[in-house]
Amino acid sequence: MSRLWSAIVAGLSPYVPGEQPQRAGLVKLNTNENPYPPSPAVAEAIRAAMGDAGDALRLYPDPSSSALCAAIAAREQLAPEQVFVGNGSDEVLAFVFQGLLAHARPLRFPDVTYSFYPTWCGLYGIAFETVPLADDFTLRVDDYAGGGPVIVPNPNAPTGRALGRAEVARLAMANADWPVVIDEAYVEFGAESAVPLIAAHPNLLVVRTLSKSHALAGLRVGYALGQAPLIEALVRLKDSFNSYPLDRLAQAGAIAALRDQAWFARSRDAVVASRERLCAELAALGFEVLPSQANFVFARHPAHAGAALARALRERAIVVRHFAKPRIDPWLRITVGTPQQCAALVAAARAIVGA
Ligand code: PMP
């Protein structure tokens, strides 16, 4: 606390991201990064975008990232004015909360979900209500009847469970007069995207990221897709906040990553194959594992507390995410790594649970 702070700062509850350990040699399965490198075309494009001896860095980047918006629009079969890009989907979501989710009715999202949502509500003074997931952590669309703004991740985090497209359409229709935002940070690992619903649902906004699917968490590129009036709201906010949220290198690298569809598909397929194997191996050790459509799995062991398991894994140089929160305290969220990383996790878990 400092008397130099504005009143709003004192009241904030900042989000705490997963640890980025500095110690080398850890098996890092705690922040859902892609275990494989991005397409080699990304580094090439970034070098080219710098120009000779970095000369191009003298100049500001394209403030509206038009080439990147066009590349995303082409991939999703949308028009460029249906695309908004930002510095990671966290920044896009921050604009979405301020620009589209602050309304007279409280915002609704699941009780177990991405824990940044309440933080943005706090930042922007948005009233919210959490809607409990079922006991098995499935999301019941019928619980979102009644009308009001909604945000849900699909697949949900940290559970990995996903809604089908027809269910998302029902959610959008049940709240047709309000923005319904689907946070598809993990959708490309196996869930159905809501993007094909955009044409028929003017209230639907889909938020995506290149952090996980395209192995670019370090480049910070996220985007939103929706009908033009929703996108215009985000552009108006961005242009009242920071003209250049995406630097030259991020714009060039993101375009190169999106062009290399074959690289994306190969690494996605490898992650999905490892996920299925990891689920089976953890189940064989006595873990309860939720079915996952994401690049992480959510698991608990009936005989071991979540915090103790996370600690014991850490002692064996393996970092996973544990949330000391109601309902999910027994559970661990484990990012799907390479086959070698998953094997190390399973071997350590076997040693700890004595199976
Ligand atoms: N949405 C969800 C559900 C997430 O788990 C994350 C990653 N923490 C994000 C959005 C943000 O990802 P990024 O800012 O890297 O695009």
Across the range 277-300, mean pLDDT stands at 98
Token readout for 208 is 């995506």
Q: Which atom of ligand 1 is nearest to the CA of 93?
A: 10
Place 249 in a pLDDT band, splitting at 50, 70 and 90.
very high
For ligand 1, the distance from its centroid to the CA atom of residue 27, given in whole angstroms, is: 21
Which residue bears the tokens 């993101």?
A: 254
**Residue 21 contacts residue 319 (beta carbons within 8 Å):** yes
**Cα separation, 280 vs 271, whole angstroms:** 14
Place 18 in a pLDDT band, splitting at 50, 70 and 90.
confident
Least confident of 20-29, 131-140, 229-238, 255-264: 20-29
Q: What is the pLDDT of residues 138-186, one digit of tens each?
A: 999 999 998 999 999 999 999 999 999 999 999 999 999 999 999 999 9
* Angle formed by the axes of helices 261-284 and 339-353, nearest 10°: 10
Token readout for 11 is 């009241």
Ranges of beta strands (E only) in the chain are 27-29, 83-86, 107-110, 128-131, 150-153, 180-183, 204-209, 222-226, 288-289, 296-300, 318-322, 332-335
For ligand 1, the distance from its centroid to the CA atom of residue 93, given in whole angstroms, is: 9
Q: What is the pLDDT of residues 85-126, one digit of tens each?
A: 999 999 999 999 999 999 999 999 999 999 999 999 999 999
For ligand 1, the distance from its centroid to the CA atom of residue 185, given in whole angstroms, is: 6
Q: Which residues line ligand 1 (CB under 6 A)?
A: 88-90, 114, 153, 157, 183, 185, 209, 211, 217, 222
Residue nearest to atom 12 of ligand 1 (CA): 89
**Tell me, what's the pLDDT at 152?**
98
Choose one of 95, 116, 296 to mutate for the ligand 1 pocket test, by most ligand atoms within 8 angstroms of C-beta. Answer: 116
For ligand 1, the distance from its centroid to the CA atom of residue 142, given in whole angstroms, is: 26
**Tell me, what's the pLDDT at 268?**
98
**Residue 181 contacts residue 151 (beta carbons within 8 Å):** yes
Token readout for 160 is 């990995």
**Cα separation, 114 vs 218, whole angstroms:** 20
**Tell me, what's the pLDDT at 220?**
98
pTM of the model: 0.98
Residue type for position 3: R
